[in-house]
Chains A and B, each alone.
Chain A
Amino acid sequence: MRKLGDWLDERLGHRALVRSWLDHPVPGGARWAYVFGSVLVFLLGLQALTGILMATVYAPSTQAAWASVVYLERSVSLGWLMRRLHAGGASAMVIVCVLHLLQTTLWGAYRRPREVNWWVGLLLMACLLGFALTGYLLPWDQKGFWATQVATNLAAVVPLVGERLRELLLGGPEYGALTLTRFYAAHTLLLPALTVILVVIHVALMRKHGVTPSWRLDEEAAKKAAEPFRDRQLIWDLLAMTATLAALFGWAFLQHRSGVVPVDAPADPAASYEARPEWYFLPLFQLLKYFPGRWEPVGAIGVPLVAAVLLMGLPLFDKGPSRSPARRKRFVGVVLVLLGGAAALGVLAVRADARDPAYAKARKRADAEAARAFALAADGVPVAGGTAVYDNDPLVRGRRVFGERCAGCHVLDGQGERKGPDLDGWSSRTWISAFLHEPTADRFYGTTKIRGMKPIHADAPDEAAMVEWIFSQGGGTFNVELAQKGRALIESMSCNDCHELDGVTVGDGVPNLGNRASLGWTVDFLREPDKVFGRKNDMPSFAKLDAAELDALAALMAAERTK
């Protein structure tokens, strides 16, 4: 090992390089305040790793994006962990970035000769926000779709070039396939490349000028008190990184255990959705509320621009002799006011939502939709794309088949024509009871040739028992005792003179009541209705439908039974 190291060192000179890093002097000595930069670099690495891993599963297309993210979450081992580390890592980077900004502001680290590094740092912060913005469109879920709409629409209010800018971002006038691919390219290629270049410059300049020592030390004292990076500063940096990582893991596990559905429902341009951005964009979101109508550009572009110019301009104005924050109140104040203002706006945004029952309701609906879509995706997502997942729901499919095949003769949910029985609540207890009262009413078999049955008159308790037995044949929960009583009554009232009750024999045009309205019975009935109604049957056979369609119809009818 030693020999291999020597061989490599002779060619690479890596030992001297590593030593120069470990031994580079920290003016004024190690401080906890200096850990933020290192933690940011560490988090950037973690984002890169989790990002690359997720890219091995994620598919950046409007058809597959949502499905692949759900697949990542539920089927790929530890996919949930990677995705949450990535999302939590983004939030952590914003927090640590703000702390880093505060520290460098207090220390006066932007002052001569470090002005350029301050600007590079601000550009890195812009990159970070760019990552955040492009990132949460990628799942192509409701939240990403609608929240990003807001952000890109804001681009359009830039004077003169706004519309062109928006089109450039979207890859066209509307959200579409190119938008997602563009955001993906920006998130995984353009921004990472830019960020790496800027980080290299940022760190190189930090090495060149050294970290900014405490304002209490003058130049000479700082040099005297300098200590090498290795040992104390290195350990503190490592401790801070480990703590950050531990916090991220903890957060990821808690989120996972909380049972919150990790992906919103698939993006649906036709649906309504109350969009809220990620927490770090809430200040901008809140700001817009104060600039309605033609003043919008002021809130969307003006205020953020002024904030950016103020931050950029700090090193040009702060040229006084002292670096003590007490002597630079104006400049430190500007940064504190900007950050404080952002925090206040964020709090206002959260409070406004917390106090708005309409928003709470909309959010609850959206959560329910997300849970339903996530559950349906267990069967995979049809190639048509995210929203096609609802086709996995037998009720949705059943309703569509019903519209195509059955609505010509049957009414359901107010749709269709009445040539045969209405199917609302078909074979539910109320339906059976109403049917017994007047079997030849138009809503039952009055419009067909099946009109041989006479109304049944019985006491309410007896009727309830008979209804219970008939209902029990279709399956589901029922009262066994009551049903047994019902069966005895049915026999005593000679219903079985006409109706078979065993579910096996084909009656002579009179329905066998055994197993009636069970899932299997419904499918068989749809295939061969004349086996149930005999020569009086008017209904065509639907044997030509495939098994999935028949099952969907049976599921649809089963759902009516529970109404």
Chain B
Amino acid sequence: MNRRAFLWLGRALGATMAAAVTVPAVLFVGARRMVSRDEAAIDVGAAEKFPDGQPIRVSLISPLQKDAYVVRRNVAAGAAWVLRRGAEVQAFSTVCPHAGCAVDLDGAAFRCPCHESRFGLDGARKSGPSPRGLDALPVTLVAGRVKIRPRR
């Protein structure tokens, strides 16, 4: 074998090994992991439990949460403000869209204690640094029971 052939063979072997190792490694790292948070709607009680026009704070307890290789049962997935007006039910995330503090109820308005953002009972922004109104959570009424889909 002449020198040129040697050089060529050496490079080919090196490249083959590098590819054989690197390609699987990249696929491994780039893999979409099966991180699945349970997104099923969470039952927070019968609709009549919520007084008309009066927001009530409820905890969202997820019955089953999967996170990679861990399953947890009855995990707190967050909280929500629930407001019933007649047959209509609305739910808002308690997380302030501005900096993530927990929004309180202050008389007939929602108020964020951190930076004084204020929101109407319909969730619309009234004043303060929040970029938008409170985030609405999808609500469904199933057989008279309020079900809320948690969202981050």
Contacts and interface: CB of A to CB of B under 8 A. Distances in A.
Nearest to A381: B69
Contact of B71 (A232, A245, A379): A379
A77 B25 CA distance: 10
B76 interface: no
B68 A71 contact: yes
Contacts of B24: 78, 81-82
Contact of A75 (B21, B34, B73): B34
A46 interface: yes
Contacts of A239: 13
Nearest to A66: B69
Interface string B1-41: 00100100110011011001100110111011110000000
Contacts of B70: 64, 67, 380-383
Interface string A238-256: 1101100100010000000
Contacts of B20: 245, 249
A79 B71 CA distance: 20
The secondary structure that dominates the A interface is: helix
Nearest to A232: B6
Interface in A326-382: 377, 379-382
Interface residues on A, range: 35 or more
Contacts of B28: 53, 76-79, 81-82
B27 A231 contact: no
Contact of B25 (A49, A238, A242): A49
B17 A241 contact: yes
B152 interface: no
Nearest to B75: A383
A234 B21 contact: no
A548 B16 contact: no
A546 interface: yes
B69 A67 contact: yes
A128 B73 CA distance: 42
B97 interface: no
Interface residues on B, range: 20 to 34
A71 B29 CA distance: 14
B27 to A, nearest CB: 5
A235 B71 contact: no
B13 A238 contact: yes
A392 B71 CA distance: 10
Contacts of B16: 242
Contacts of A82: 24-25, 28
B63 A546 contact: yes
Given A76-B31, A235-B6, A53 B69 contact: no
A53 B6 contact: no
A258 interface: no
B82 to A, nearest CB: 22
B69 A71 contact: yes
A180 interface: no
Contacts of B72: 382-383
B20 to A, nearest CB: 6
A554 interface: no
Contact of A238 (B10, B27, B31, B71): B10
A238 B16 CA distance: 10
B63 A548 contact: yes
B145 interface: no
B126 to A, nearest CB: 41
A483 B73 CA distance: 42
A343 to B, nearest CB: 31
B85 interface: no
A381 B68 CA distance: 9
Interface in A213-234: 231-232, 234
Interface in B85-127: none
Nearest to B64: A548
B66 interface: yes
Contact of B9 (A67, A71, A235): A235
B25 A53 contact: yes
A81 B25 CA distance: 10
A546 B62 CA distance: 13
Contact of B6 (A231, A382, A392): A231
16 contacts: A53-B25, A70-B69, A71-B68, A75-B69, A76-B28, A77-B27, A77-B28, A82-B24, A235-B9, A235-B13, A241-B17, A377-B69, A381-B69, A382-B70, A382-B71, A548-B63
Interface of B: 3, 6, 9-10, 13-14, 16-17, 20-21, 24-25, 27-29, 31-34, 63-64, 66, 68-73
Given A56-B29, A548-B73, 5 more contacts: A75-B33, A245-B20, A381-B71, A382-B72, A383-B71
**Lowest 7 A-B CB distances belong to which pairs?**
A380-B71, A71-B69, A77-B31, A67-B69, A238-B13, A78-B28, A75-B34
